[in-house]
Amino acid sequence: MTIDIAGLGQIVGDSNVLTGKDAEALFTDARKVHFAEALAVVRPASTDEVAAVVRWCVTNDVAISSQGGNTGLSGGAIPWGSGPAVIMSLQRMNQIEKLDPDGWTMTVQAGVLIQTMQEAAVAEHRLFAPDWGARGSATIGGAIATDAGGNNVVRYGNMRDQIMGVEVVMADGEIWNGLRSLRKDSSGYDLKQLFVGSEGTLGIITRAVVKLHQTTPHEQSALAALSSLDDLMDVFALAKDSAGDALTAFELLPEVGIQKVCDTYDLVHPMETRADFYVLIKLGSNRPVTDLLTDFLALAADAGQITDAVVAATPEQEIKLWTLRDELPPTGLYTHHATGIKMDTAVPIARMGEFHNSVREIAAELAPYALTYGFGHVGDGNLHMNVLPMGEADIAKFKSVKPELMRRIDELTFSMGGTLSAEHGVGRDLRDRVVGQKSSVEWKLMRTIKAALDPDNRLNPGVLIPDP
């Protein structure tokens, strides 16, 4: 049956229904490995228009994949293999509606960019804490839908911890206005949290109220060379003990990754002393943090945990150190990244080193020619391990062992009580692999919630919840 999409133009205006070449970028996922099978991209400008588009989809039996900045890394923001579908882009809903410095809240539409929120908060001497490399393209709607994490989780928690209220268009087009800004509310189920991490499968987030924090005008970072990866958790414990609440980020960077970023972006390696791994530490406070930072580094050096460190002395040096971290994801660095394995694992913090070394052992056994390295938000137990074939000649070999590699690494993760998705969501990429992570009771509860809120399986079908 041919579906006439002219009705969508009557809701949002013809120029906001994109097809063909105009829709190409939004039909392709962030890693450029998936391509959408969709009728069109629809770009509503208000909650009422979102609701009207949903009602059109109900009438025409069309599925909906919500999309924010399309920076998601788990293949959840575009539809394929699930019948007729549209992409509902929230990018035109890009207004900050209210910034309340005294109430420490900001009310925004779903398509506002993370960086725009950060800048608006700073202008009012407040901090919107979440931060990660895609800050200039990712939206708050997508960040809520994936329960995004990033660099500052070690201090402020993840997206779940920032959300006070949401407005959601439900699968039948009804609007739930849950835009509360209460610090305390024990009046029943916390429905807003259902939509955090729901990846567009339970409703379309159209607006949100988020928490703001005190600014930290004094921020300073240091890159420290680890004596050994085995010292990682001791350095983290020391950083927490000595810097306390000022510890804002604690990231692991491998030499192989730093070197590649420097080569790709023509940067100078900041360290004279080289090591296999470094930690990038950021302290932030309303008082100067230089002494706190240098005291911590001296203690770590005395304990033999680090061999050298550089401290950013200017804002320019600060940016240079964080560029090394922001550009580490392999998508921008390695030609064959799409064939490789890129993980978003979390394990209990005490077992991070063990997890890293075990993955390397599995990779060395099954794909000794591959480049294996880990980086990421180790202060939260979140490690992005990567196993990447480097040359054309290795791709066929790698593809033949990839399923076994993934099976062994997933088993390892589950045996450590870990998760395959710490912050990127499950999407379509992890949907079948994540089955073993939760008990049958847990899956039954999730399917029951999905069936109650979206009985026709209209919202992002095929994402997040595995088939029974």
Ligand X SMILES: Cc1cc2nc3c(=O)[nH]c(=O)nc-3n(C[C@H](O)[C@H](O)[C@H](O)COP(=O)(O)OP(=O)(O)OC[C@H]3O[C@@H](n4cnc5c(N)ncnc54)[C@H](O)[C@@H]3O)c2cc1C
Smallest distance, ligand X to C-beta of residue 376, A: 8
Whichever of 146 and 358 has its CB closer to ligand X, that residue is 146
Close Cβ partners of 123 (under 8 Å, ≥ 6 residues apart): none
Smallest distance, ligand X to C-beta of residue 165, A: 14
Whichever of 242 and 386 has its CB closer to ligand X, that residue is 386
Chain centre to alpha carbon of residue 263: 26
Phi, psi of 98 (to 5 degrees): -160, 135
Whichever of 108 and 205 has its CB closer to ligand X, that residue is 205
Which residues of the chain form contacts with ligand X (CB under 6 A)? 30, 65-73, 76-77, 90, 110, 132-134, 138-139, 141-143, 145-146, 148-150, 199-200, 204-205, 329, 423-425, 427, 460, 463
64: exposed, middle or buried (Cβ count in 10 Å: 0-12, 13-18, 19+):
buried
Handedness of CA 171, 175, 178, 179 (dihedral sign): positive
Whichever of 284 and 425 has its CB closer to ligand X, that residue is 425
Smallest distance, ligand X to C-beta of residue 461, A: 11
Smallest distance, ligand X to C-beta of residue 69, A: 3
Smallest distance, ligand X to C-beta of residue 93, A: 8
Whichever of 144 and 239 has its CB closer to ligand X, that residue is 144
Whichever of 153 and 405 has its CB closer to ligand X, that residue is 153
Instruction: Report which DSSP code applies to 141.
Output: H
Contact yes or no for 12/86 (Cβ under 8 A) = no
Whichever of 78 and 359 has its CB closer to ligand X, that residue is 78
Chain centre to alpha carbon of residue 318: 22
Instruction: Report which DSSP code applies to 148.
Output: -
Strand partners, 385: 374
- By Cβ distance, which residue is nearest to ligand X? 142
Smallest distance, ligand X to C-beta of residue 185, A: 22
Whichever of 312 and 459 has its CB closer to ligand X, that residue is 459
Smallest distance, ligand X to C-beta of residue 26, A: 9
Whichever of 145 and 258 has its CB closer to ligand X, that residue is 145
**Rounded Cα gap, residues 223 and 205, in angstroms:** 38
Residue with tokens 């945990």: 305
**Rounded Cα gap, residues 411 and 437, in angstroms:** 9
Close Cβ partners of 263 (under 8 Å, ≥ 6 residues apart): none
User: Nearest-CA neighbor of 449 among 158, 146, 208, 195?
Assistant: 195
Q: Which string of DSSP letters, residue by residue, matches 31-96? A: TS--B---SEEE--SSHHHHHHHHHHHHHHT-EEEEESSS--SSS-SS--SSSSEEEEE-TT---E
Whichever of 134 and 366 has its CB closer to ligand X, that residue is 134
SS3 sequence of 274-321: CCCEEEEEEEEECCCCHHHHHHHHHHHHHCCCEEEEEECCCHHHHHHH
Smallest distance, ligand X to C-beta of residue 302, A: 32
Contact yes or no for 148/423 (Cβ under 8 A) = yes
Number of CB atoms found within 10 A of residue 285's CB = 19
Smallest distance, ligand X to C-beta of residue 111, A: 7
Q: Which two tokens stand for residue 196?
A: 């955090």
Smallest distance, ligand X to C-beta of residue 230, A: 25
Whichever of 170 and 275 has its CB closer to ligand X, that residue is 170
Smallest distance, ligand X to C-beta of residue 52, A: 16
Phi, psi of 234 (to 5 degrees): -70, -40
